[in-house]
Structure 1
Amino acid sequence: MYNVSFRQVQIFVCIAQSHTFAQAAEKMCLSQPALSSAIKKMESQLGGVLFSRTTRKVELSPEGRQFLPVAERLISDWQEAFSDLYNLFSLGRGKLSIAAMPSFAAGLLPGILQQFKTEFPNIKLSVTDVVMESVIKDVKAGRAEIGFSFEHEQMEGLQFHPILTDNFIAVLPANHPLCEHQILSWSQIAAYPFVAMNKGSAIRRWIDSFMEMNHLALNIVVEASQLATLGQFVKHDLGVSVVPALCQEQMLSKDLVCLNIHQSGLSKRVGIIRQTNGNLSSVASSFWQWAVNNISYPN
């Protein structure tokens, strides 16, 4: 294997561009003997001459002329590689992968990212909006470095920093009798057909657990796997529902009515998550610290 150093390549290019050893030695801050020795060693390692030397000037040999553009490209690539690395560490450039619940991604996240991009305009962002369970899986698997999610019961291996507490709200069709009220009780909600998330979702599990603790029962008539679908079912008067307040904007866009629940008792913390033991990129680490210091919402 050839043992040619990057320094030798720099010296070769400098001599080729200067045409004399004296000029090249001055540019490289070397003595002429040291410069000449470095090139001779390089030629010895390669097994051929790179320059044709005369008393007046130095000219490239045919092999040297062929190698010069390659050497120039090597130097350029080297400099660009370390410039890119510096930019990554200094947040001059980089890419950040984020997983977020759809309700958060469509609601609060755009404003958060706008603030971050104002301070770090060259960072590229990749956002995946998936259900809460997938947010947690993606962060644990390293497919996303940062996640925005409800605080889940199974957060092993994850660090959670809360940014708000979300109170659940009632969602009704626009023509529903309960729309006459400004605030509802759980008993009033339970008296009507109910549209629920499917049993595999955390939202369904939280609502079921809350109802059981309060000795109430829901008349579930249809289930959905996505909150957007749940909203459509409510819009078509299949029943009423209860969702996190994060979804309020999404539900209002469907012309539904959103009402607070008196002494709701059902609230969950929403926050930012990352791997506990995983090594974050410089970009992700800086975003985490920035988010911890800058993101908070009144309850």
Structure 2
Amino acid sequence: MEFRQLKYFVAVAEELHFGRASETLHLSQPALSKQIQALENSLEIQLLERTKHWVKLTPAGQKFLETARRVLREVEEGIQVTRQVADGQSGRVRIGLTEATLFSLAPKIFSTYRERYPQVDLILSSGGTEAHVEQLRTHQIDVGLVYLPIREPSLAIYPLYEETYIAALSASHPLARQKQLSIASLADQPLVGYPRSLAPVLYADFIKCCERAGFVPNIVQEAALAQTRLGLAAAGVGIAFVLADLQNLSAKGVVYRPLSDDFPKLKLAVAWRQNESSPVVQEFIKVIRAIVLSQLSA
């Protein structure tokens, strides 16, 4: 049985006339009759009763018509979905986010993408750069927002912009009276840092900055989550560092102060697999790049 034979049978069953059906199908009447006969032979079932003057469905033909219509409908729906996937209109994208982008870049990306591609499912997770690189390598996510540098030849990398750190400290801290904090002003101050394991390059750059200023930083506590670092700063445990995009987070008793230009910055990038062929993933990356470019030019 061939797929086209189902279409031919439905046309004849609906018209109950070979001549009219052949015109609808743009097929000669003898060819149409031959295809219907071939369908009946393959099924070993008589679907139509016909004479020179009339055509009607057998009871088996009436039942088969329901099946044929359902198959044709499901195939058409399948073709439509397949075309949507091929055009980047339908499917799934798994995204790994950094903590800062959850509150800054991500909302704009997701609202824009969902407006353009409402049939694509976005599955979100958060984590550090090393985790995202491993998840990309092992196909656990499709796109990752990461911090440079990255040395992973299997990934394509597109730099986005630099993220700046600011200091978060208790409103009662003596340095809270200053409008800006220099690296040197952090000497002998208890500090709340970011774990070395989650940002080894950033950690090393910060240590080097402090050493150039003539001191070894007094890191009394480390915390991966910005909310935790802010809580420790509010409690007076030490001066914490968070990305500037997070300063809108509500933290009672905390004030934010910019840091001098020599404080390390993070270079945000979007990463995906070099051999990524999914149209929905490629479209998602295009949206990220377009949004960042529009923000930078604004």
For residues 231-250 of structure 1, the aligned pairs below 5 Å read 231-250=230-249
Which of 39, 49, 52 does residue 42 from structure 1 map onto? 39
Cα shift at 1:298: 4.5
Q: TM-score, normalised by structure 1?
A: 0.88
The alpha carbon displacement at 1:124 in A equals 3.4
Report the 3-state secondary structure (helix = DSSP H, G, I; strand = E; otherwise coil) of the residue aligned with 1:249: coil
Aligned 1:172-251 pairs, distance under 5 A: 172-202=169-199, 203-212=202-211, 214-250=213-249
State the Cα distance separating 1:255 from its structure 2 match.
4.6
Corresponding residue for residue 262 of structure 2: 264
Q: Is the 8 A contact 2:206 2:263 kept in 1?
A: no
Give the deviation of 1:254 after TM superposition: 4.8
Post-superposition offset of 1:39: 0.9
Query: Which whole-Å CA distance do the structure 1 matches of 2:246 and 2:184 have between them?
Result: 22
Partner residue in 2 for 1:280: 277
Please, which runs of 5 or more residues in structure 2 have no aligned partner?
A: none
1:52 is paired with a residue of what secondary structure?
Answer: strand
Q: CA deviation at 1:267?
A: 1.2
Structure 2: how far apart are the matches of 1:225 and 1:287? 28
Question: Would the alpha carbon gap of residues 118 and 253 (structure 1) be closer, same or farther in structure 2, given more than 3 Å must change?
Answer: farther
Aligned-pair distance for 1:212?
4.4
Change (3 A) 1:268 1:140: same
Q: What is the match of residue 16 of structure 2?
A: 19
In 2, the alpha carbon distance for the partners of 1:275 and 1:86 equals: 23
Gaps of 5+ in 1: none
* Cα distance between partner residues in 2 of 1:163 and 1:280: 22
Q: Cα–Cα, structure 1 residues 145 and 213, in superposed 2: closer, same or farther, change >3 Å?
A: farther
Q: What CA deviation, in whole Å up to 9, does each residue of 1:29-65 have, x standing for no partner?
A: 1111111100111111222222122333222223222
How many residue pairs get matched?
294
| CA positional deviation for 1:9 | 0.9
- What amino acid sits opposite 2:230 in the alignment? G
- The answer to which of 165-174 and 202-211 deviates more is 202-211
2:80 maps to amino acid:
S
Alignment correspondent of 1:28:
25
**Secondary structure of 2:247's partner?**
helix
The answer as to whether partners of 1:101 and 1:135 remain within 8 angstroms in 2 is no
Distance in 1 of aligned mates of 2:132 and 2:28: 61
In structure 1, give the amino acid aligned to 2:218: N
1:87 counterpart residue number: 84
Q: 1:137 aligns with which of 119, 125, 134?
A: 134
Instruction: After superposition, give the CA deviation of every residue in 1:253-276 in whole Å (9 maximum; x if it has no partner).
Output: 455222122232411211211112
Is the CA contact 1:168–1:264 (under 8 Å) kept in the aligned structure 2? no
Q: CA RMSD in A?
A: 2.3
Whether the 8 Å CA contact 1:167–1:264 is kept in 2: the answer is no
Q: Which amino acid aligns with 1:106?
A: F
Instruction: Give per-residue Cα distances to partners, 1:95-139, cap 9 Å, x unaligned.
Output: 322211121112221123333344444443222222333222222
In the TM superposition, residue 71 of structure 1 has moved relative to its aligned partner by 1.2
Given that 2:184 and 2:213 are in contact with CA atoms closer than 8 Å, whether structure 1 keeps it comes out as: no
